[in-house]
């Protein structure tokens, strides 16, 4: 069956498998279709007498509803950042790895294009990185890196954490992430608290990774980057399960510390009550 000449008015001439393939094609090209075309497809699927096609119509309807809901949610996050629109470039900054017993603390700063001309330019799916599956985080991290106007990632290792303290390192890693951006940032949105000693304008947003598109994007690429580092370390220090726990103090990790001792990437200052 030639799918290029697919006729929604004559669904009865198509096998279910052909219709399903066409619906999947429509989903992938959703942003290129006008709303009245989508509505017609929904009506045609619903009017078909076959149960499996009717079930497909329900599935496609749910897809459309969820897509519209997600577009609305993301537009609100972009609009939140655009409230600071008197600035040319606004960056979001977030850190990951404040609490683990091992490994570095990492931060990212991201500049998104907040002046999207159409819905297709929005990065759908961004949210607090902890609420995403590892696979979805990885997909979004790649998309953010590709589509952002600019981004930078900074890390501070466990040696400096032990030397300077986690509070200083937490602020410093965010500061370094912002200062490493290539574009002239006028405003920095940070999650939860302000970044000290930053020469840029800075607004801190409570639960920022749920409100700000830029902060959410930063939280995603920072977490994916740090998790990737910890997986690399897991091949060197095989006893601690870093590929699963990312250095956090899970029961498995603490048992391994008590059995094997510490390795070079453990934060000694975090282990006083364990060793």
Q: pLDDT tens digit string along 194-246?
A: 999 998 899 999 999 999 999 999 999 999 999 999 999 999 999 999 999 99
The model carries a pTM of: 0.89
Query: What is the enclosing helix (H) or strand (E) of 152?
Result: strand 150-156
DSSP string, 42-56: HHHHHH-S-HHHHHH
Side by side, the strands of the sheet bearing 201-205 are: 150-156, 105-111, 90-96, 187-191, 201-205
DSSP assigned state of 106: E
Mean pLDDT on 96-105: 97
94 is in an annotated binding site: yes
The CATH T-level fold of domain 90-224 is Nucleotidyltransferase; domain 5 (3.30.420)
Residue 12 has a pLDDT of: 87
| Structural domain boundaries in the chain | 3-82, 90-224
CA 16 from chain centre, in angstroms, equals 35
Residue 9 has a pLDDT of: 83
Mean pLDDT on 263-270: 97
Per-residue pLDDT tens digits for 46-56: 988 899 999 99
227 is in an annotated binding site: no
């Amino acid at each position: 069956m030639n799918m290029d000449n697919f006729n929604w008015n004559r669904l009865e001439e198509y096998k279910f498998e052909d219709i399903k393939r066409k619906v999947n094609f429509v989903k992938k090209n959703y942003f290129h279709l006008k709303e009245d075309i989508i509505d017609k497809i929904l009506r045609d699927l619903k009017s078909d007498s076959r149960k499996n096609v009717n079930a497909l119509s329900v599935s496609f309807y749910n897809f459309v509803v969820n897509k519209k809901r997600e577009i609305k949610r993301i537009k609100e996050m972009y609009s939140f950042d655009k409230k600071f629109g008197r600035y040319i470039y606004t960056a979001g900054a977030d850190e990951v790895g404040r609490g683990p017993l091992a490994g570095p603390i990492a931060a990212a700063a991201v500049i998104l294009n907040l002046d999207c001309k159409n819905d297709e330019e929005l990065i759908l799916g961004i949210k607090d990185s902890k609420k995403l599956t590892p696979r979805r985080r990885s997909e979004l991290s790649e998309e953010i890196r590709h589509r952002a106007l600019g981004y930078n990632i900074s890390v501070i290792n466990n040696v400096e954490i032990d030397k300077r303290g986690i509070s200083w390192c937490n602020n410093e890693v965010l500061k370094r992430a912002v200062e490493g951006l290539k574009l002239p940032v006028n405003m920095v949105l940070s999650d939860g608290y302000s970044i000290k000693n930053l020469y840029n304008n800075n607004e801190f947003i409570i639960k920022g990774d749920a409100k700000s598109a830029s902060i959410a994007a930063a939280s995603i690429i920072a977490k994916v980057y740090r998790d990737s580092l910890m997986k690399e370390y897991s091949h060197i220090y095989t006893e601690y399960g870093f590929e699963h726990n990312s250095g956090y103090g899970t029961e498995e990790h603490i048992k391994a510390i008590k059995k094997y001792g510490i390795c070079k990437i453990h934060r000694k200052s975090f282990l006083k009550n364990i060793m």
